[in-house]
Amino acid sequence: MITKLQTNPGAYDVIVTNSAWNGRATELGVIQPIDTAQVSNFADLNPSFRDSPLLNVDGKTYGVAWVWGITAVAYSTEVYKDAPTSIEALWDAKNAKRVSVRDDAIEAVSFAAIATGQDMNHPTDLAKVKEKLLALKPNLAMLWTSEDDWNKQFQAKAFDLSVYWSGSALRSKTNFKLPVGYVVPDEGAVGWFDGLAIGKDAPNAEGAHKFINYMIEPTYYVEWATKVGAPASANPKAMAALPDSDPSKAFYSDEAAIKRLQFMAPLSDQERQDFSDLWAEVKTEYAK
Amino acid sequence: MTPTTRTRWAILSLTGPAYLWLACTIFLPIAAMLALSFLDKSPLVPKPASFTLANYGAFFGKPFYWSLTRWSIELGLWVTLFSFLIGYPAAYALAKRVKGRWREAIFLLIVLPFWSNALVRIFSWTMVLRSNGIIDLGVQSIFPGAPTVDLLFTYPAVVIGLVHSYLPYMILTCYIALQAIDDSLIEAGRSLGASKFTTFRRVVLPLSLPGIISGAALIFVPVIGSFMEPRILGGTKGATLGMNIEEQFTVTANWPLGAALSFILLAIVLVIFGILYPFLRKQGGAA
């Protein structure tokens, strides 16, 4: 995303940014400050997302908190009658060649860090993280790269247990009618939130503000969540407006699960390179 | 104007546009990438950059890069070999045995894969190769109770996908070389008492060597840098240097490292060709 914004200035009005990257985008000057007066629903947003230092720099808002979600464990309800409760299920010998994780260095390191009881954003013992990831080799069937990829392989029964995004899991269930179950393990999971930013030199900044306002309002969110499936909205009014039968309402109000989450934070260039090199080494071992 | 000057002008004006095009679209970007590989920061980041050899040092410092490079070269060799084993006989049959309108029809079939999107082709291979895919169902229907054929996410799957994509190159280049061989040469060999196999080995094969070499070069070089087929068909088994280079550009945004790795790969390819070139020239000339 950062590369795309740098090489295509003035091409985009609204950009969806992960909270961990919004600060970097601000630093590099590819997004502009948002005039929150033009976004009438701004005050309704959950303060812990809305005022997060990840989206606000020097008193100016560079990202409007939009949705948040969880990266945890998705499983096939046909294979698992009871949801697995521990993250160790991914490493369980019973699941040889039935597990999939995303081909992403940061996500992989985060999960192994959580499984070894460390801070996922700044793990102190990377050697332990690497060992944990290498231990996954016998169970790993494949690495998925996109939601579409995941859906195709899950439907073809290439794997039963996987690390997956909450919004996408609900979407796979609602929209594609796949037998997906989702659970936040006892050891914890990755929490993330996305913001909506406006590109520097956006062709239509005024329209961008209006669009962002529309994206965070309840009526749009309810339609999106009930018809297609969506992650949780950063606007508590939108969450409250969901019908009680909607699975995401119950899921995202599970306070105990939310307390177990570790939220993604920005990483330094060196940390990102270290994670990437670690993952590249692990993948080389997987291929042997 | 003297005839030589006129000839020179003719050559310049005919090749000039092509070289200018090459310079702008290939040489200049490559030169920029070469300069980039010696910097410590991507030029798009607003910080002053300094000269460093650390990017090249990273390749020699971390053993997994060498594993990836070795596998990429191995993959290139396997794909070239199988393309040759399948493509050369096909080209021979097309050049020497098939006549008339059938030739055009078969040409069309060979070129047909180029008309479809590469990604669509690779994804269709996933449907054919997996368990409960077309091959598995076929085997099950002929031999019920046979073990399932699950080739997806294995090394052979990557080779199959790559051979399928690059086979037409070998067929076409070998065809061009083979159909230029005068039939009377083969007849002369046979009439002098050589067996069919000896005629093939001593007459046809050396004369078609340029076609084989250009086909091999057209296949080997792209394959060792490939990342699409290994990623989709290989699962965890398809790790190549190409995939790592792609990640440097898209995930870690470490362009200098990606550029350095690309040039190391280029240097390895040039070294391989440098070593093989004298042998191939000798072979081709000895016929």
The structure's pTM equals 0.77
Q: How distant is the Cα of B200 from the closest Cα of chain A, in angstroms? A: 40
Segments in A228-268 forming alpha helices (H): 236-240, 247-252, 255-259
Cα B153 to Cα B165: distance, rounded to the nearest angstrom: 17
Q: Domain check: are A76 and A117 in the same one?
A: yes
Q: Write phi, then psi, for B59 (nearest 5 degrees).
A: -65, -45
**Residue B240: helix, strand or coil by DSSP?**
coil
> What is B62-285's CATH number?
1.10.3720.10
Q: Domain check: are A76 and A59 in the same one?
A: no
**Residue B148: helix, strand or coil by DSSP?**
coil
Tell me the C-alpha to C-alpha distance, in Å, between residue A258 and each of A105, A113, A251, A252, B246.
Answer: 24, 18, 10, 8, 35
Q: Which amino acid is it at A199?
A: G
Contact B235 A2 (CB under 8 A): no
Which contiguous run of DSSP H or E holds residue A263? strand A261-263
Q: Which amino acid is it at B287?
A: A
Residue A43 has pLDDT above 60, yes or no: yes
Identify the sign of the CA torsion A233, A239, A242, A246. positive
Closest alpha carbon within chain A to B69: A284
Residues of chain B scoring pLDDT < 70: 1, 43-48, 280-287
Considering only the C-alpha atoms of chain B, give the largest distance between any 2 of them, rounded to a whole number of Å: 83
Question: Is residue A41 a part of any domain in this protein?
Answer: yes
Considering only CB atoms, which chain A residues are within 8 Å of B152?
158
Q: Domain check: are A268 and A145 in the same one?
A: yes
Residues A255-268, mean pLDDT to the nearest whole number: 82
Q: Provide the 8-state DSSP code for A89.
A: G
Contact A172, A151 (CB under 8 A): yes
Neighbours of B256 (CB within 10 A): 24
Q: How distant is the Cα of B279 from the closest Cα of chain A, in angstroms? A: 33
Contact A34, A197 (CB under 8 A): yes
Reported as a single tens digit per residue, the pLDDT across B19-64 is: 899 888 988 989 988 888 888 777 666 666 778 888 888 888 888 8
pLDDT at B1: 65
C-alpha count within 13 angstroms, C-beta hemisphere, residue B267: 9
Contact A281 B253 (CB under 8 A): no
Q: Domain check: are A132 and A112 in the same one?
A: yes
Q: How distant is the Cα of A44 from the closest Cα of chain B, in angstroms? A: 34
Least confident window among A63-72, A205-214, A240-249: A240-249
Separation of first and last alpha carbons in chain B: 42
Residues 94-123 of A with CB under 8 A from B: 103-105
Take residue A261 and report the two structure tokens written for it. 């989450």
Question: Is residue A259 a part of any domain in this protein?
Answer: no
Contact B251 A104 (CB under 8 A): yes
Q: Domain check: are A167 and A98 in the same one?
A: yes
Closest alpha carbon within chain B to A282: B64
Mean pLDDT taken over chain A: 86
Q: Provide the 8-state DSSP code for A187.
A: T
Tell me the C-alpha to C-alpha distance, in Å, between residue A243 and each of A2, A102, A180, A219, B152.
Answer: 37, 32, 21, 12, 42
Q: Domain check: are A126 and A163 in the same one?
A: yes
Contact B68 A140 (CB under 8 A): no
Residue A236 has pLDDT above 60, yes or no: yes
**Of B24, B52, B56, the residue nearest B40 (C-alpha):** B52
Cα B241 to Cα A257: distance, rounded to the nearest angstrom: 40
Cα A287 to Cα B239: distance, rounded to the nearest angstrom: 6
Contact A287 B231 (CB under 8 A): no
pLDDT at B85: 95
Q: How many domains does chain A have?
A: 2
Domain that holds residue A113: 69-189+264-287
Contact A143 B236 (CB under 8 A): yes
Number of inter-chain CB pairs under 8 A, A vs B:
61
**Of A106, A180, A104, A172, the residue nearest A143 (C-alpha):** A104
Q: Domain check: are A269 and A283 in the same one?
A: yes
**Residue B140: helix, strand or coil by DSSP?**
helix
CATH number at residue A78: 3.40.190.10
Q: Which amino acid is it at A107?
A: E
Which member of A158, A280, A288 has the closest CB to residue B244? A280
Q: Write phi, then psi, for A104 (nearest 5 degrees).
A: -145, 125
Q: Which residues touch A51 (CB under 8 Å, ≥6 apart)?
A: none
Tell me the C-alpha to C-alpha distance, in Å, between residue A179 and each of A61, A74, A94, A161, A169.
Answer: 40, 10, 20, 12, 10
Q: Domain check: are A20 and A82 in the same one?
A: no
Q: Which residues touch B31 (CB under 8 Å, ≥6 apart)?
A: none
Cα B54 to Cα A12: distance, rounded to the nearest angstrom: 35
Q: Domain check: are A103 and A165 in the same one?
A: yes
pLDDT at B274: 85
Which contiguous run of DSSP H or E holds residue A70? strand A64-76
Q: Domain check: are A84 and A212 in the same one?
A: no
pLDDT at B287: 40
Q: Provide the 8-state DSSP code for A94.
A: G
pLDDT tier at A94, thresholds 50, 70, 90: confident
Take residue A10 and report the two structure tokens written for it. 């003035």
Closest alpha carbon within chain B to A269: B252
Q: Write phi, then psi, for B119 (nearest 5 degrees).
A: -65, -40
Q: Domain check: are A243 and A118 in the same one?
A: no
Closest alpha carbon within chain B to A4: B250
Mutation target among B236, B240, B243, B245 for the A interface, most CBs of A within 10 A: B236
Reported as a single tens digit per residue, the pLDDT across A65-80 is: 888 888 999 999 888 8
Q: Domain check: are A273 and A182 in the same one?
A: yes
Domain boundaries, chain B: 62-285
Considering only CB atoms, which chain B residues are within 8 Å of A137?
236
Considering only CB atoms, which chain A residues are within 8 Å of B244?
280
Share of chain A above pLDDT 70, in %: 100
pLDDT at B149: 73
Question: Is residue A155 a part of any domain in this protein?
Answer: yes
β-pair type (A64-76, A189-199): antiparallel
Segments in B180-254 forming alpha helices (H): 183-191, 196-199, 205-224, 228-234, 241-250
pLDDT at B239: 81
